Structure formats: structure tokens, C-alpha cells
Amino acid sequence: MHKIDTNKLKRKYLIVLGFIFFIAFILRVYSDVKHHEFMIVDKTSKLHKQTLLHYENIIKNLENNYISISAQFINMNEVSQLIKKRDRDELYRYLLRDYKQLIQHNPNLYVMHFLDTKNTTILRMHKPKNYDDDLSSIRPIVAKTNKDKKIHFGYETGKNGITYRVTTPFINRSNEHLGVLEFGIKPKYFVDRLENLLNIEAQVLIKTSQLKNLTYKTEFQKIDEFSIVTKNSLFKNFKDKIDLNRQEQIIQSKNKTYILFNNLQLRSYKGEVIGKVLVAKDITKEVVKNRDSLLMLNISTFFALFICFILIYFIFNHYSKKLVNAYESINELEIAVDTDALTGINSRKSLDNFLQNKVNKKNEYAVIFFDIDHFKKVNDTYGHDVGDIILKELTAVVSNTIRSDDFFARWGGEEFVIVLKTRNIKNAVEITKKIRTNINSYTFHNNLKITCSFGVTMLDTPNNTNLVIKRADKLLYAAKDAGRDCIKSQA
């Protein structure tokens, strides 16, 4: 009778079992590496979309703001009379205070320019000694505005610099076309706004061919066909690695990892691309965190598989009859986190669930979107620990103001959202005013006083709550543009 070699059989099972666990380990490592790469790509894509959206909103809000400002000056009878008389000295004195206030509100406002119907300068508020120059050949946006008597927007280089132009036909209340009123905002305005909103770094590139009209000569650093007109020291670290032919790029420089993209385009009034905003985000912490997590996970997986291997072989060796029952399936548990860890109020994920499950009818709820004004300055001055305390205190103030059945959630960072059960935008605004008053009257940690800006709107599209959130977000930024510490609403 043939005797079974149990040791040989054990070795076979040991080899087969070891091979299975080895393949499982390799597959797990491969899966984790791919997940790590996916997280980086996903973060890049999300930041890219978010930046494009904010950039478009910034431009739109800026245009609307200066259209309104232009209308105010155009409707001033005194301004109209002084332009007709070409009394630039008196016009300058009359508008100087307003001009200074505009610059105080927006330090990146550079150009306030009055021209006649023949494209000749009547008065430059920014350079009052330069006048009577014909700009027909070098300032096509002005000539276009005089010709079709329509408002035009776009980047254009003048004699004194390149700015984003809001060019409005000067047609007074008597319907007389007297020329053009133009405002020009430095590109740095968009850089500053993006950096503040998204905690990124940015610089402006202009096609070198667009700078030929400048009366002053400046040596700009260049990348391909572009000149760098707003400098940022961060980009010096990897200037030679920038590839403008790629919209998205991940760059390694000095042990740091950056997301880089460059398709925020600067367009002329004709829609021609004359420059772009180059944006960079340091994601080193996220990359290192993911990498360390990946390493620890793989080590844990290896030891877990090794222990399982020893255990299963031991069971096979001593309890071969029960080997089939020794294999148990492992189910992954997913824990839904509904509470914000810092403030204790609802999380953004919980907000999504609430909107999906509770909001069924239009105009049954209102959305209040708000954030803390100048919160970055608080963090920079007092540190993030103080910033966290203020976030907690703020949520306490707001929670004590709203009703217990109102839904209050942290959107992210210093941004918050309230879903208020009301069918009346007026009632929603009144409650928002109460919230604002309580925040303004509260003395926060370190005897700090803070303010908030609010956007309020009705939840009129329950099947598309993202549209409502975006509208509330635009209203919030309208409140920011209006000087902060105020409320902007739309039914």
C-alpha cells in the first residue's frame, strides 16, 4: 500500500498557500499605489475646476461692479457738463475724492480714463498731466466702444500698462454721446483674489507681443512667448520645468510637490487670448501623508497576511478536517461621518444627505451661505489654534441664534451653510440679520471682533441643489465685493 508523504503534502500546501498570499500582497500594493495616484489626479481636477469657476465669478463680479460705477458717473450732470466743456482741471478736482475712494476700495484699480468721441484723451485720473493724445491706433477697445456705443470688456495694453478694461460709452441723460469712460484694473487683482480664495500661488503671463505699446521699458522674465508681469518667488523654484503646452502639471521641486495649471486665460474684448494666469498649489503635505499612509498600510497588510499564513498553515497542520471552515470572508465597513470633527456641527457630507432626503418641494427652504471676513489674517496673526477656537465660538453663536430644527453645517474652512425652513426670502434675510448682529456683538477669543459676509437665496430647484448652492456662493462673493460684513439676497 502506497504511503502518503504527509510532509510532502504539507510542503505543497505551504507553497500554494504562500504563492496565494504573495499574489494577494502584490495586488494590494498595486491597488494602493493606483489609489494614491488617483487621489492626486482627483485633487488636481477638483482644484482646477474650482479655480476656473472662481476665476469666472471674479471677472463677472468685477464687470458688474464697474458697470454700476460707470453708470453713476455718467448720470452726474456736473460730470457731463465738464466733459462737454473739456474742462479737465475742474473735472479732475470734482472727481478726485471719488477716485481716491475707488482706489481705497480696490488698490488694483489703476485706470480711470475719459475720452471723447474721436478716441482722444480728455482726462486720465491716474495721470492727469497726460491728455489730448489720440489712441485710435493703439487702443482698439476704445475705438470699438465709440463706434458701436456698447460696453466692452477685456485685457488691453495702453501706454502705461496692461489692465482689464471695462469700457463704457459715455451717453448722458440727455442721450448725448460724449465719448468713453474706461476703468482699468491691474492683473494683480485676479491674482490676489485667487490666492485669498483658494490658498494658492499665482502669477500673470502676457504675450510679449502685446507689450509693444508701453511707453516705459522694462525687462520682463520670459517663459516661451510670454512675459511674466506679476512676480511670485515660488515659481522661480521650478520656472524651467513649466510646460505651457500642458494645462495640468505636477512638478517636483526642492522636495516639494506642486499642482500647476495655466488655462485661466486673459482675453481681449475680441476674445483673443493675450495672456494667462499661472496657478500653483503646494500639495506636499497631502502627498507625504498619502505616501506614509500607503507605506504603513502595505506594512500592515504584509504582517497581517504573514500572520494569516502562519495561522492557516497551523490550522491545516493540526485540524485538516476543519480547514474549509477556517477561511472566513472579510467585509470592509464604511463609516459615514456626519459630524464636523472641529466644530461638532453637521458636516458637508451630512448636508448633501439632508438636501437629498428632506428637500422635495421648491421654495420650502432658504439657504444662507456665509464665511468669516479676513479669517486668513486671524490665522496668520494668532495661529491656527486660535483660528480653531474662533470657529468653535462662531458655531456656538450661530447655533444659539437659529432654531433647533434648522440645518447648520460647516461647508469647509471658514465657510458655513444654513438650510432654513421658510417660504419667505424676507424672513430668511431677517434671521440672517439677527445672526450677523449677534456675531458682530460677540467678543471672541483674544478679545477679537470678527464679521461675516452672507449670501441668502431660496431653494427653488430641489432637483438641482448644486445650482442653489452656487447662487448662494455668488451672493456671498457679491457681499465680499460690496465691502464685507453685509448680506446679499436673491429670491
Query: Does the pLDDT of residue 327 top 90, yes or no?
Result: no
Domain that holds residue 145: 75-185
Are 162 and 56 in a shared domain? no
**In a domain? residue 336:** no
Are 56 and 107 in a shared domain? no
**DSSP run (H or E) holding 156:** strand 152-157
**In a domain? residue 68:** no
pLDDT in tens, 170-212: 999 999 999 999 999 999 999 899 888 888 888 888 888 888 8
- Identify the residue with better confidence: 36 or 374: 374
Look up residue 482 and give its DSSP letter: T
Query: Does the pLDDT of residue 250 top 90, yes or no?
Result: no
Give residue 66's pLDDT: 95
DSSP line for 105-133: H-TTEEEEEEE-TTSBEEEESSSTT--S-
**In a domain? residue 154:** yes
Distance (Å, whole) CA 161 – CA 334: 56
Give residue 3's pLDDT: 45
Confidence of residue 319 (pLDDT cuts 50, 70, 90): low
**DSSP run (H or E) holding 273:** strand 273-282
Confidence of residue 323 (pLDDT cuts 50, 70, 90): very low
**3-state DSSP call for residue 26?**
helix
pLDDT in tens, 110-139: 999 999 999 999 999 999 999 999 999 889
Give residue 334's pLDDT: 33
Q: Which of 86-90, 308-312, 331-335, 397-401 has the lowest mean pLDDT?
A: 331-335
Are 172 and 240 in a shared domain? no
Mean local confidence (pLDDT), 74-78: 94
Are 224 and 314 in a shared domain? no
**In a domain? residue 328:** no
Closest CA to 378 of 437, 480, 449: 449
Confidence of residue 5 (pLDDT cuts 50, 70, 90): low
Are 226 and 358 in a shared domain? no
**In a domain? residue 1:** no
Give residue 103's pLDDT: 95
Are 177 and 216 in a shared domain? no
Amino acid at 423: R
Mean local confidence (pLDDT), 99-110: 95
**In a domain? residue 148:** yes
Distance (Å, whole) CA 70 – CA 447: 41
Supply the CATH number for residue 151's domain. 3.30.450.20
**3-state DSSP call for residue 366?**
strand
Are 242 and 355 in a shared domain? no
Q: Which of 216-230, 302-316, 327-341 has the lowest mean pLDDT?
A: 327-341
Give residue 485's pLDDT: 96
Amino acid at 343: T
pLDDT in tens, 427-464: 999 999 999 999 999 999 999 999 999 999 999 988 89
Give residue 243's pLDDT: 84
Confidence of residue 9 (pLDDT cuts 50, 70, 90): low
Mean local confidence (pLDDT), 383-408: 94
- Identify the residue with better confidence: 264 or 318: 264
DSSP line for 455-469: EEEE---TT-HHHHH
Distance (Å, whole) CA 141 – CA 136: 9
378 by Cβ neighbours in 10 Å (0-12 / 13-18 / 19+) ranks as buried
Supply the CATH number for residue 429's domain. 3.30.70.270
Are 374 and 414 in a shared domain? yes
Of the residues 282, 303, 336, the one at which a domain ends: 282
Are 26 and 153 in a shared domain? no
Amino acid at 86: R
Are 256 and 304 in a shared domain? no
Prediction pTM value: 0.53
**In a domain? residue 477:** yes
**Pairing state between β 152-157 and 162-171:** antiparallel
- Identify the residue with better confidence: 388 or 322: 388
The mean predicted confidence, pLDDT, of the chain is 86
**In a domain? residue 329:** no
Are 83 and 196 in a shared domain? no
What total of structural domains would you count in the chain? 4
Are 425 and 480 in a shared domain? yes
- Identify the residue with better confidence: 323 or 462: 462
